[in-house]
């Protein structure tokens, strides 16, 4: 699918599903709220354990970072904070996948039913969240591993991390549907996701499904412009105008991201069924689903 009109049509049809079932938007909203609270609360404990100045003094006195129990405990808690945030997000999005599958096949579902179904796969989701968190940390380490290096090295690191992120997102696009709808473990789900993508679209994939670009163009982009403009006005002491612009921009970006996450999760279910057994589930045609993933000519 290479045209703007095709991408717009996919987004419109997927939005139609969400519009008929607005409770689906609760999944990413709940994920953001609970994950954000958990990360902040647990991270605060981790930072408290680190003790900032006290930890530095302890490490200096001991002559080794490993000899500082507070530092080690603090790092462990911070890692736990990131993992818990990832886990909550995966549970909520797994619930959305299950509810979307029910609705796309003409069966009623609900937020509670989706979360209950996701919790039935908690062991697999625990493992999948750990893998996701680990990959995220590795990519972050690549981006930030050369802070004292030159500009070219920094750009190269960001480029490598960006390409790796895109590749990982494509390869794991069907992991949650495989876990929730086929009761697979996380490793098996990753292998199955990659196998489906390779067998359906080959190895010349240029990117993920073309979906949600309309929302990005009409929501995220204006939100970014509003936020940046507001920040410049704040710097210029135009607080009365700058503060509302920043607030509006942030709200618009958050709402757009919630909608994009919901649309992608719903669409991933229909695309998963098409790749797995050739069925066109939902308001899409087989031609649309086949052309939905970008490939190199």
Q: Of 206, 114, 116, 213, whose CA–CA distance to 167 is shortest? A: 206
Segment (H or E) for 293: strand 293-295
Rounded to whole angstroms, the Cα distance separating 149 from 138 reads 18
Q: Are 281 and 275 in contact, with CB atoms under 8 Å apart?
A: no
Confidence category of residue 94, pLDDT binned at 50, 70, 90: very high
Rounded to whole angstroms, the Cα distance separating 14 from 10 reads 6
Q: Report pLDDT digits (tens) over 132-154.
A: 999 999 988 888 766 666 777 78
- If you average pLDDT over each of 50-54, 180-184, 245-249, which comes out highest? 180-184
Rounded to whole angstroms, the Cα distance separating 46 from 80 reads 9
Q: Report pLDDT digits (tens) over 153-197.
A: 788 888 888 888 888 988 899 999 999 999 999 999 999 999 998
Q: What is the pLDDT at residue 2?
A: 45
With vertex at residue 260, the alpha carbon angle to CA 91 and CA 134, rounded to the nearest 5 degrees, is 45
Rounded to whole angstroms, the Cα distance separating 141 from 154 reads 12
Rounded to whole angstroms, the Cα distance separating 71 from 20 reads 50
Number of domains comprising the chain: 1
Q: Are 28 and 258 in contact, with CB atoms under 8 Å apart?
A: yes
Kindly tell me if the per-residue pLDDT of 203 is higher than 70.
no
Question: What are residue 207's phi and psi, to 5 degrees?
Answer: 170, 180
Q: What's the domain range around 133?
A: 4-295
Confidence category of residue 70, pLDDT binned at 50, 70, 90: low
Q: What is the pLDDT at residue 149?
A: 65
Q: Are 24 and 48 in contact, with CB atoms under 8 Å apart?
A: no
Q: How far apart are the first and last CA of the chain?
A: 11
Q: What is the pLDDT at residue 111?
A: 97
pTM over 0.75: yes
**CA 284, 287, 290, 296 torsion-angle sign:** negative
b/e for 140-172, b at 16 or more Cβ within 10 A? eebbeeeeeeeeeebeebeeebeeeeeebebbb
CA 256 vs CA 124, 149, 213, 251: distances in Å: 29, 36, 11, 9
Beta-ladder partners of 205: 295
Q: Of 223, 217, 210, whose CA–CA distance to 263 is shortest? A: 210
Mean pLDDT across the chain: 84
């Amino acid at each position: 699918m290479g045209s703007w009109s095709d991408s717009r049509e996919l987004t419109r049809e997927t939005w139609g599903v969400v519009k008929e079932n607005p409770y689906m938007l609760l999944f990413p909203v709940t994920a953001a709220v609970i994950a954000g609270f958990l990360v902040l609360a647990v991270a605060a404990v981790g930072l408290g354990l680190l003790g900032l100045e006290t930890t530095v003094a302890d490490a200096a006195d001991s002559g080794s970072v490993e000899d500082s129990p507070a530092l080690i405990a603090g790092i462990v808690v911070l890692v736990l904070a990131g993992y818990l945030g990832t886990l909550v997000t995966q549970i909520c999005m797994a619930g959305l996948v299950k509810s979307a599958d029910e609705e796309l096949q003409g069966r009623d579902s609900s937020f509670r039913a989706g979360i209950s179904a996701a919790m039935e796969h908690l062991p697999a989701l625990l493992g999948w969240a750990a893998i996701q968190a680990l990959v995220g940390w590795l990519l972050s380490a690549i981006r930030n591993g050369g802070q004292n290096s030159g500009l070219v090295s920094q750009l190269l690191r960001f480029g490598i991390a960006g390409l790796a992120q895109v590749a990982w997102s494509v390869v794991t696009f069907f992991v949650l549907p495989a876990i929730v709808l086929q009761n697979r473990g996380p490793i098996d789900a990753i292998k199955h996701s990659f196998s489906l993508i390779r067998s359906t679209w080959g190895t010349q994939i240029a990117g993920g499904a073309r979906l949600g670009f309309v929302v990005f163009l009409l929501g995220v982009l204006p939100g970014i412009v509003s936020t940046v403009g507001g920040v410049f006005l704040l710097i210029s002491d135009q607080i009365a105008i700058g503060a509302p612009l920043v607030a509006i921009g942030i709200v618009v970006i958050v709402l757009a991201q919630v909608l994009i996450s919901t649309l992608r999760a719903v669409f991933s279910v229909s695309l998963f069924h098409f790749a797995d057994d050739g069925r066109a589930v939902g308001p899409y045609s087989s031609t649309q689903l086949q052309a939905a993933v970008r490939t190199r000519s």
